[in-house]
A and B are shown apart, each in its own frame.
Chain A
């Protein structure tokens, strides 16, 4: 078990975003969450990464439990444990604007894992290479295209060697050729044991990933094997 959710519920005002959401994610699982825009896919992924708080339920990963009832300090502490194994790439990427592509990818290992700079650089370069953006290593985010930013953001998350990777609309900035490349990369990574949950409505990605498809409809998460 890499990540488990138990009875998650969240509503905003009268609107029920999701309720009674429970699931378990195992190593090498590839899951696509399908839902119309505004249905709460992003919010669900943010909750799984501890960026948003559900109002009820628990999320368990890496031996830590994000309990909706925890006080703020303890919740932040638990969220850090969870994030050690659960990576997240937001739809807007949010690359660090003041650092180059290479520095963006090195940042996590340097600061969080305290990896020596030389080692972090080598790992980051090989990730950028694997994602086909090694040539843009010295460019700043503002100088990168949307697709390049997407791949640098992916490399930044992968540099932390997560067990589970949460991807919000990972192919929204990519053309079909690049989408295929990302799909085959995700499949490669899953073969190495990485579990992936992608919120998307890109049917090309869903098809090429041969992923489990979950749907979020009127607050209920429906899980079905692909």
Chain B
């Protein structure tokens, strides 16, 4: 009897637990005692950045701390790439997004947004000597525009039928603006105030306003309620205003925050399929990737061959110096990341030599080509060394010079031996073109990260993008294998 009774008690205890299982998000956070918030330290001042001692500072760090105190939990920052904050939240890498997360319809379609904690303006910046005038977004047609990829500003420009250059960092758009690579930059005023104040640049207009809010996973209703409650307290008691004032972010615009509400319902339901227009854009991206790879490979082959020739032990005057220079080139370009080389070429070089302000596509081709030239040089070196010594000697015996023997007898055979390696390198290069999105080239992978925002997910566009890469690289892979088989037969 007592057993039956205890069983009933146990069942009774289960029932409310099952009900709460529908959403235990806030309970889980409370039990854990810590709330993990995702942010990108690279976003920099004044959002969240590291001070000289490596401590996190910024107005959002202070808001996070104040929120934690109000809610009675410890706030734990989790570093994540800004453009991938939403997928990381969905994966469960952290509980909330708190990092310049704009309350856009696109974001509202994918995550739940808290009430806003900051009001910003979208600020248009141009070069001081610009001759055009701004009336509305359509008046910007024909200008090269820059914005943070997938930001509210970027989406606004695209909705106006414009084709802005997507940037990944906050400083680079203004660097490019000053250098003349773009004609105007549209960014949140916080960023414009910090990075868009360089001499030679001028503020044109504030074209819209927007808000920052905290992002929460759909379904985490209790957590969202708690956070809204916390923000409400902080706003009513003036804590947020104090923090904003300390960071010189206050102003009349922020006084409206107290009465603002969360963007309650998604503006549009998430759509997972790719539209016809998006598919066409993907094919365009694939074409850019292919053209980049071909142009970079052409450069790599020519430069690589020159390097391989320069590294031969010729008996010419100065050939010792040339040989050492060529070897140094190969070691340096193989020994440093191509991503770093692209950055230096695109953003670094104009600082020391303004006349070397390359357009993005040219910098991409040059950067990838120069990098791959180092690898091609090594392939050709191996190919040249694989040609039997007797082939050199047979040519010399006929009375040829070293150069003639090389050109007529050795090089054709060395290239033949090098072909499979070159095909393999081209496949690798095809995929490495995805790196040039950091210097604003919209190729296939960049197209993916743009579309992923539009379609509220990475899976469908990701698989489609992968299929396109595979469709380009697999025939090359077959070709490489055939070339290898052909060589083995000889």
Contacts and interface: CB of A to CB of B under 8 A. Distances in A.
Interface of A: 49-51, 72-73, 76, 79-80, 83-84, 87-88, 90, 92-98, 107-108, 111-112, 142, 156-157, 160
A96 B408 CA distance: 9
A143 B234 CA distance: 88
Interface in B344-403: 388, 390-391, 393-402
Nearest to B415: A98
A174 B399 CA distance: 27
Nearest to B409: A96
Interface residues of B, number: 21
Interface of B: 315, 388, 390-391, 393-402, 404, 408-409, 412-413, 416, 490
A83 B391 contact: no
B413 A90 contact: no
A49 B400 contact: no
Given A49-B397, A84-B399, 16 more contacts: A51-B396, A72-B315, A79-B396, A80-B399, A83-B396, A83-B397, A83-B398, A93-B394, A94-B390, A94-B394, A96-B408, A97-B490, A107-B395, A107-B398, A107-B409, A160-B398
Contacts of B490: 97, 142
Contact of B400 (A88, A93, A97, A112): A112
A83 B399 contact: yes
B402 A76 contact: yes
Contacts of B409: 96, 107
B397 A111 contact: no
Given A90-B390, A98-B416, A108 B398 contact: yes
A95 B394 contact: yes
Contacts of A79: 396
Given A97-B413, A107-B408, A142-B490, A112 B390 contact: no
Contacts of B401: 80
B388 to A, nearest CB: 7
A142 B416 CA distance: 15
19 contacts: A49-B397, A51-B393, A73-B315, A87-B398, A90-B394, A93-B394, A94-B388, A94-B390, A94-B394, A95-B394, A96-B394, A96-B408, A98-B416, A107-B409, A108-B399, A112-B398, A156-B394, A156-B398, A160-B399
Given A98-B413, A112-B404, A157 B315 contact: no
Task: List 8 A-B pairs, minimum CB-CB distance, nearest first.
Answer: A94-B390, A108-B398, A94-B394, A112-B399, A88-B397, A83-B399, A73-B315, A98-B412
